[in-house]
Amino acid sequence: MSRKSARRSAPLLAVLLAPLPALAAAGDGGGTWLDLRYRHERVDQSGFERDAVADTLRVRVGAHSAAWHGWSALAEADAVLALDGSRHNDTRNGRRGYPVIADPAGAGINQALLRHATATTTATLGRQRINLDNQRFVGGSAWRQNEQTFDGVYLQLAASPRVALDYAWVGGFDTVFGPSDSPTSTRANPSDSGGDSHLLRAALELAPQAKLVAYHYRVELDDMAVTATAPLGTLDSRTSGLRLEGRRGPWSYAAEYARQRELAGNPWRLHSRYALAELGYAFDGGLVLKAGLESLGGGQGEGNRAFQTPLATRHAFQGWADVFLTTPAQGVDDRYAGVAAPLAGGSLQAWYHDFVPERGGGRYGRELDLSWTHPVPGVKGLAGLLKLARYRSDDAARTVDTAKVWLQLQYSY
């Protein structure tokens, strides 16, 4: 482990952990948890003479109180320790001769919240996870060692057995690039951002296995821009859309459409669309096939005015190589197919993606993703993961060849 990282992270983590036993003991029903996640990541990317290699350990601890007249509290702290911080660019260490592996070392509060719940309503105040639907627009991005969490108020109402309403006001959020900034930080990757975002969602159950969701997300981020050189405010947007998802027998389906426009204060005019069509089939024995098309529209005018999703769990979409975390100015159409199946006591996934610009013609490239997870025998709560992503570019002026490998062990108690 990097001695400098250990000296910086360990004392802060100790301070953060101090109040957790008292919180867990606050009434019968309180509890604590521990999560340890070791990850080895290697990135081979065109344009760099050396591969990036990172070994990191995330330590996460938390506690929640028992409910008292509907009230409860929760606190969670974590630290990312760089076991070898010299052979990758973590976006903070200034090692630009290596590809990016965005897991900066440090410690901080991941969640700290007060919650009140009744049979039909839940209100949560503080720093918290907010995961809406499939997390394409709002999610915790839990894949990275630093999780994305939100500061604000989240209200959930079960208006009827078939209707659910959600509203969240977000005054700021901690990004995956946290927990702190450095001289190498940019307006495209700050550790956190203030703002005044409003997230409104309504879900209607059309049938026992069919749901229609309408949403309107007004995202205002004070300290971020779509790229490192773009003006602040260029991610401020209002997005309205509809999502239909469900199952019928062995078939599953999802269809979605949304429009994105600028908010007042954004120096750029935005006008782009989002569309999704996906179909799946589940065989006896656990084998599942899926195929679909996801389109994020390009924009018109100077700079990158394409459809963006800055609050999303972006790693889960458009390939695990993370080539399209920021939608290119010409937009992107992702034509994909995949399979999930049980294998040797674990779970296998395989996905193929074909990427083309949404406007302007040409091609970006292709990607193959594979993963296999398996519980470690004899150790309850311990699981291993092997994961690979290989992107091959068809246009070196717009994207570059990228290959990534992950080996991971995670223990949850």
CA–chain centroid gap for 81, Å, is: 20
The domain locations on the chain are 1-107
pTM for the whole structure: 0.91
∠ CA 362-363-368, nearest 5°, is 170
Strand, helix or coil for residue 13: helix
Q: Is residue 331 within 8 Å of residue 296, measured between CB atoms?
A: yes
* pLDDT for the residue 316: 97
Q: Is residue 114 within 8 Å of residue 134, measured between CB atoms?
A: no
Query: Using CA atoms, how far apart are residues 237 and 241, in angstroms rounded to an integer?
Result: 13
Strand, helix or coil for residue 12: helix
Q: Is residue 121 within 8 Å of residue 156, measured between CB atoms?
A: yes
68 HSE (CA, 13 A, CB side): 12
* pLDDT for the residue 238: 98
* pLDDT for the residue 12: 46
* pLDDT for the residue 5: 39
- Residue keyed to tokens 């929760």: 74
Strand, helix or coil for residue 21: helix
Strand, helix or coil for residue 262: strand
Q: Is residue 169 within 8 Å of residue 197, measured between CB atoms?
A: yes
* SS3 per residue for 152-202: EEEEEEEEECCEEEEEEEEEEEECCCCCCCCCCCCCCCCCEEEEEEEEEEE
The low-confidence residues of the chain, meaning pLDDT below 70, are 1-28
Please give the structure tokens belonging to residue 242.
């509809």
* pLDDT for the residue 85: 72
* pLDDT for the residue 9: 43
